[in-house]
Amino acid sequence: MNPTIEKFGYPATVVHEYAHWLVLLRPAQPTLGSLVLAAKSHEVAFGALSAEAFAELATVTADIERVLAEFVGFEKINYLMLMMVDPHVHFHVIPRYHDERTWDGIAFLDAGWPRPPELSAAKALNQSQIHALTRELGKRW
């Protein structure tokens, strides 16, 4: 695995694993169900990924959208490829909604709605919450 994947809590945050991609729970949740979709390779340029990784991306994104629609009922979904601090190919997957969502007694607002997501408004989950939410999403795959 690459250092970017490890930074996002691998292996504890793995929601689902594919041949070329990992879906990780984003430990800081700007909205409920926020994920990191990370290439398992060491590539630092999106265009440098293999044809097989690109082909698999269609399945991965369809699965993500199905699971998050079921879990959080998003109205929009944002795939942010920032790669400024963490250089390996990855997306921040942010489900977007206009009203509050609740999980485990925690209220989650989309502070940026309807503008770009406010990543700085993310709720940091503790290890127990990270484990529980990772398992809950993983069971829906």
81-121 pLDDT tens trace = 999 999 999 999 999 999 999 999 999 999 999 999 999 99
The mean pLDDT value for 68-76 works out to 98
Q: Determine contact, residues 33/109, Cβ cutoff 8 Å.
A: no
The amino acid sitting at 66 is: R
Q: Which residues contact 69 (CB under 8 A, 6 or more apart)?
A: none
Supply the DSSP symbol for 15. E
Give me the pLDDT at residue 9, please: 97
Give me the pLDDT at residue 34, please: 98
Give me the pLDDT at residue 95, please: 98
The mean pLDDT value for 61-88 works out to 97
pLDDT band at residue 65 under the 50/70/90 scheme: very high
Q: Collapse the DSSP code of 108 into the 3-class scheme (helix H, G, I; strand E, B; otherwise coil) and give the result.
A: strand
Q: Determine contact, residues 133/14, Cβ cutoff 8 Å.
A: no
Give me the pLDDT at residue 17, please: 98
pLDDT averaged over the chain?
97
Give me the pLDDT at residue 111, please: 97
Give me the pLDDT at residue 56, please: 98
pLDDT band at residue 129 under the 50/70/90 scheme: very high
Looking at domain 3-139, its CATH architecture is: 2-Layer Sandwich (3.30)
